[in-house]
Amino acid sequence: MSPGYWFMFGALLSFAGMGVVHKLGDKLHANPINIALLTMAAGFVVTLIRSGFSATGIHNIPPHIAFIAIPFGVSAAVALWLFQKGLRHGHIVTSWLIINLSTAIPTVLSIVVYHEPLNPRKLFTLVLIAASLVLLWWDRVRLTENASRKL
């Protein structure tokens, strides 16, 4: 099996683990900002350890990488915080699905900005993402209508 599949499988398990831990944090009424802070701190420590064991080491990281990594880390921390805070107002199933469907944004941008070729498989995937979002919206509308009828 190609190493790429192992990385993909590891990423899948890691994202699944994140979903479980987010739900656990919500059930335990953990402060969302603390979850985001500890998540980012743990990621920072793991990255430092990993960099320390690499051939180039952490001292050879070019400065322009920091200019990319810092806003990315801030964006990820804010996203985690808002996601955890939003869980109290909705269902994790819907929230987690929307978070994962948000990968469509960089996909579309890579096609438009970087002129990445749009093959039939990518086009089909984007159509499925759009259909998923429409079905989520429709489900939410029906849930709201049913709740208002019960009142």
User: Is the pLDDT at 143 greater than 70, yes or no?
Assistant: yes
Query: Is residue 70 located within the same domain as residue 110?
Result: no
Q: How confident is the model at residue 81 (pLDDT cuts 50, 70, 90)?
A: confident
CB burial readout 102-132, b (16+ within 10 A) else e: eebeebeeeeeeeeeeeeeeeeeeeeebeee
Q: Is 24 a member of any domain?
A: yes
Number of domains in the chain: 2
Question: Is 95 within a domain?
Answer: no
Give me the domain span that covers residue 143: 103-151
Q: Is 84 in the same domain as 25?
A: yes
Q: What are the tens digits of pLDDT across the range 94-141?
A: 676 777 677 778 878 888 898 888 889 888 988 888 888 788 778 877
Q: Could you say which of 90, 112, 127 is where a domain stops?
A: 90
Q: Are the C-beta atoms of 95 and 83 separated by less than 8 Å?
A: yes
Alpha helices in 1-151 (DSSP H): 3-27, 32-52, 63-86, 92-101, 104-112, 120-150
Q: Which of 59, 90, 121 is the last residue of a domain?
A: 90
> Do 36 and 84 form a contact (C-beta atoms < 8 A)?
yes
Domain C-terminal end among 55, 90, 125: 90
State how far the Cα of 21 lies from the Cα of 92, in Å rounded to an integer.
11
Both 1 and 34 in a single domain? Answer: yes
Stretch among 41-50, 77-86, 142-151 having the lowest mean pLDDT: 142-151
Kindly report whether the global pTM for this prediction surpasses the value 0.85: no
* Residue 144 within a domain: yes
Residues 84-96 have pLDDT tens digits of 787 777 676 667 6
The answer to whether position 60 is within a domain reads yes
Judge if 11 and 38 occupy the same domain: yes
d(C-alpha 40, C-alpha 58), whole Å: 18
